[in-house]
Structure 1
Amino acid sequence: MHALRKNHPLRRIVLASAATVSGMVLLLSLKPHTTPAVAVTARSTAPAVKGTRTVTGDTVQTRWGPVQVRVTVKDGKLTEVTAVTYPTDNPRDQEINSYALPRLRSEALQAQSADIDTVSGATYTSDGYRQSLQSALDSAGS
């Protein structure tokens, strides 16, 4: 009697093992999902405007909700950045934004531009914040 005959239990074990190995190879060959790259354009710094000007940036739709930023520029210096609209639909959004928004504000004031780092754990909010900040800075300069 041959060990891999149709009714022999060893055949089933070999086939099940081969199927398991094949499935694992297929799973491991899958590529993780990556977010589309945001087009990087030349970032403008705070516009050289005499006096004080407050401008609200565009509302940017993110995966978790809209983000909109308002800036105040005084004599060409970015003096205030405020998140006007941001995701607050659930407790997780509120938790993320409670630590992300102050960091984004601080980075924007320090950089004096929209060239700021993404806050870990708040990628979508950071991207929307950056885009709205850039549009506000562009509007303040015109």
Structure 2
Amino acid sequence: MKKLFITLACTLLVSQGALAGETASTAIGGGLGGALGSVVGQAVGGSTGAAIGAGVGGAAGGAVSAKDGKKTEAAIGGGLGAASGQVVGRSVGGTTGGTVGAGLGGAAGSAIGNSLADDNDHHDGHKSNHKHKHKHKHGH
């Protein structure tokens, strides 16, 4: 089972080069935040603390590393991914599996949230709230 987690972790690290730079940095932020939050949460509050810590860490890591218009989506994705990854990983591989699951889940969740976010870059910067003046002609 540990070989599976090592293989998944290596696959995630290698696949970062294939992702866009912005999405890759968001994935790394969410993954590191989720894994670190899991470790700290485990030390403070056991298995429940690990899940909560992973969620908070994944959300924080995803938000900090995302572009301005995509922070909320990356935080939600990173938090949900890290927390659920921690719970599933812990049930499969114990404490170490929970940490790896939180990292992978946080990375995947924040990357997906970042990719799905609409950053509104497609606008050309012109305002469209023009006032139309009606000129009345007074005919004689």
Greater fraction of residues in strand: 1
* Both proteins in one fold, TM over 0.5: no
Shorter-chain-normalised TM-score: which range?
0.3 to 0.5
TM-score between both structures, scaled by the size of structure 2: 0.33
Say which one has the larger Rg. Answer: 1
| Greater per-residue helix proportion | 2
